Amino acid sequence: MRTERKGHVLPVAVISICLIVAWYLAAIPMNESVAQSKIQAAGGGLFNTLAVTWNFERPVMPAPHQIMNEMWNTMVLVAPWKVKSLVFHCWVTLSSTLLGFILGVALGIGLAVAIVHSTLLNKALMPWIIISQTIPILAIAPMIIVVLGSVGLTGLLPKSLISMYLCFFPVTIGMVKGLTSPEVYHLDLMRTYNASRLQVLWKLRFPASVPFLFTSLKVAIAIALTGAIVGELPTGAQGGLGSRMLVGFNFGQTMQVWAALFAGAILAAVLVYSIGRIEKFVFAARGAKS
Amino acid sequence: MNRIREYVPAVALGLAVISIWECAVRVFNISPILLPPPSAVYVRFMNSLPLLGGDFVETILKAMIPGWMIGSLAGLAGALLCDRLPFLRRGLLPLGNLVSVLPLVGVAPIMVMWFGPGVAPKIAVIVIMTFFPMLVNATAGLQASGQLERDLMQSYGSSWQQSLLKLRLHAAMPFIFNALKINSTLALIGAIVSEFFGTLVVGMGFRIQTGSGSQSLDLVWAEIVVAAITGSAFYGLLALLERRVTFWHPSYRR
């Protein structure tokens, strides 16, 4: 394990540096045309071109340090409860992501348990569960928000419902696989013990499904976040990373859009990483060798 | 006969849901502004076929399918490159794994700023969204052939190209199809969400957004029906093709 990790650090570092260098290089021609007059005013030449294109206020392509700067300004220098703070918007998005995630996981596990125990439900539900995912729910998110809003449901719940709809699917699929993963002779052993279905579920099927559950959870939390962000697009005033992007887009605040995009990326990475940590912890508690 | 019987419960459930929906709307007198009954959606669907067809061409044929193809092919090319250069694989794969969980659809506003309204930003968003799933899956797939088979190819003295074409690409096919399926859903989402950020006055995303604003929800639902049929048909075609290509895979053995 240790050597494996060591083998990745250098290549990842090299490629990341290459990407950042490429980004800086790309920013020069992309910003050059919009910043032309400013470069002329500064006196032209290579040095001025670099200085202007990498620090333009409304760039076509902001340089990485500009994005970092914007994030520092909006996350650290502003009190987190103010609407101007990116931390506030992250929190709005995170709370609806987590609520949707919990609802979706509960629904997903419930459906999986039902499907595993009933052939009829398996046949009736499974095709619809698969079809449900070919409907681009994200695309109709605005309508769902508008409709639920006119019934009086506003704020957290409508967005969470979109996250829920998105993340129940990987959980159901993974859990059906996991709950049916015990070997036949393990199930036979439970039968010889005269175990009830509930006992089989609790003592054999659930423990066997844990690895599958965590794999699904990582997928689920990532799309729950995407769902929350897209769900925020039509709810401009209420806050959240999605509304931040939309407002930034509408008012031509390029940096704001980029900062929100990066905040979303960091949030996604942190969420998936946390699930991974919990997975490791649970496995260790169950006696897995690390 | 048996195959038909397989689908009876699913069809029954579908019909039940639609009937309950229809009855509930009529009995509880739900305003069509909130939830139009299925019959109204059907009428609207049939009456606005040309409009829906125009949106279909704009969003599906001009944006989703080209974007899906370019993104998937680029991902596959990236995977082949990673396969040739182990250094690149060790560096790019962890990054690819990270990027494929990010909410990439958020690049939509930036792409619309760059390319202006039209088809180009949609294709760009879809390419960005679909590249990484294909890169990660295809790279995993190219590693999937067994050590025994690879040793055999080596003992035949086959070149990289030969062992790729005759063995490893075949072993990778289930993974590639998996990515193609994931990407078909992502592409549809990318195309529609990009249209929320300014577009020409045609397209499924545009119609959905203006429809939910102007309270003509039956039209929105008609678009959803189009999207659902398209998504399911796409997925079904891919599943069919997968069955033909990877007939040897254990999951298709009888």
Most confident of A17-21, A84-88, B56-60, B67-71: B67-71
Residue B254 has a pLDDT of: 56
Is B189–A265 a contact, with Cβ atoms under 8 angstroms apart?
A: no
The Cβ of residue A94 has, within 10 Å, a number of other Cβ atoms equal to 18
**Does residue B10 contact residue A128 with C-beta atoms inside 8 Å?**
yes
Q: Give A252-287 pLDDT, tens digit per residue.
A: 788 888 888 899 999 999 999 999 999 999 988 887
Mean pLDDT within A78-90: 80
- Scored b (16 or more CB within 10 A) or e, A157-187 reads ebbbbbbbbbbbbbbbbbbbbbbeebeeeee
Q: Looking at the predicted structure, is the pLDDT value of residue A182 above 80?
A: yes
Q: Give A19-33 pLDDT, tens digit per residue.
A: 889 888 888 888 877
**Does residue B219 contact residue B44 with C-beta atoms inside 8 Å?**
yes
Share of chain A above pLDDT 90, in %: 14
Is B90–A146 a contact, with Cβ atoms under 8 angstroms apart?
A: no
pTM here is: 0.84
Mean pLDDT within A65-79: 83
Mean pLDDT within B10-21: 87
Place of tokens 């007939």: B247
Residue A4 has a pLDDT of: 47
Give the H or E element holding residue A272: helix A254-285
Residue A290 has a pLDDT of: 53
Instruction: Find, among B119, B116, B232, the residue nearest to B184 by Cα.
Output: B232
CA–CA distance, A242 with A250 (Å, rounded to integer): 12
| Residue B216 with chain A: CB contacts under 8 Å | none
The CA-based diameter of chain A, rounded to the nearest angstrom, is 88
Tokens describing residue A210: 């844990």
Tokens describing residue A143: 């309508």
Q: Give B71-111 pLDDT, tens digit per residue.
A: 999 999 999 998 888 888 888 888 888 888 888 888 888 88
Mark residue B209 as left, alpha or beta (left: phi above 0; alpha: psi -120 to 50; beta: remaining).
alpha
Instruction: Find, among A264, A219, A218, A258, the residue nearest to A240 by Cα.
Output: A264
Residue B252 has a pLDDT of: 67
| Residue B208 with chain A: CB contacts under 8 Å | 139-140, 142-143
Most confident of A68-72, A115-119, A277-281, B29-33: A277-281
**Who has greater pLDDT, A130 or B17?**
B17
Q: Give B134-147 pLDDT, tens digit per residue.
A: 998 898 888 888 88
Share of chain B above pLDDT 90, in %: 14
AA letter at B9: P
Burial class (CB in 10 A: 0-12, 13-18, 19+), A73: middle
CA torsion, ordered A175, A180, A181, A186, to nearest 10 deg: 140
A68 vs B: CB within 8 A: no
Mean pLDDT within B197-223: 79
Confidence bin at A3 (pLDDT 50/70/90): very low
**Who has greater pLDDT, A273 or A79?**
A273
**Who has greater pLDDT, A133 or A230?**
A230
Residue A154 has a pLDDT of: 73
Alpha carbon of B201 to those of A8, A204, A251, B46, B120: distances in Å?
48, 56, 21, 21, 15
Residue A122 has a pLDDT of: 83
Chain A, chain B: beta-carbon pairs less than 8 Å apart? 149
| Residue A134 with chain B: CB contacts under 8 Å | 185, 228, 231-232, 234-235
Instruction: Find, among B106, B144, B159, the residue nearest to B128 by Cα.
Output: B106
Q: Looking at the predicted structure, is the pLDDT value of residue B112 above 80?
A: yes
Share of chain B above pLDDT 70, in %: 96
Kindly tell me the number of DSSP H helices and DSSP E strands found in chain A. 13, 0
CA–CA distance, B227 with B200 (Å, rounded to integer): 19
Alpha carbon of B203 to those of A144, A245, B24: distances in Å?
19, 22, 31
Mean pLDDT within A28-45: 77
CA–CA distance, B111 with B125 (Å, rounded to integer): 7
Confidence bin at A1 (pLDDT 50/70/90): very low
Q: Give A205-257 pLDDT, tens digit per residue.
A: 988 888 889 988 988 998 899 888 888 876 555 678 888 888 888 887 888 88
Compute the mean pLDDT over every residue in chain B, rounded to the nearest whole number.
85
**Does residue B205 contact residue B213 with C-beta atoms inside 8 Å?**
no
Confidence bin at A152 (pLDDT 50/70/90): confident
Instruction: Find, among A130, A144, A205, the residue nearest to A175 by Cα.
Output: A205
Interface of B with A in 234-253 (CB under 8 A): 234-235
Mean pLDDT within A87-106: 92
Q: What angle do CA A182, A183, A189 make, to 5 degrees?
A: 95
Tokens describing residue B47: 């009456």
| Residue B89 with chain A: CB contacts under 8 Å | 11
B219 vs A: CB within 8 A: no
Interface of A with B in 42-61 (CB under 8 A): 60
Phi, psi of A92, rounded to the nearest 5 degrees: -60, -45
Mutate: best of B112, B137, B196, B197, partner A, most A CBs <10 A: B196
Confidence bin at A2 (pLDDT 50/70/90): very low
Confidence bin at B1 (pLDDT 50/70/90): low
Is A60–B114 a contact, with Cβ atoms under 8 angstroms apart?
A: yes
Q: Looking at the predicted structure, is the pLDDT value of residue A187 above 50?
A: yes
AA letter at B145: S
Instruction: Find, among B214, B192, B182, B133, the residue nearest to A169 by Cα.
Output: B182
A259 vs B: CB within 8 A: no
CA–CA distance, A186 with B204 (Å, rounded to integer): 51
Interface of B with A in 173-192 (CB under 8 A): 185, 188-189, 192
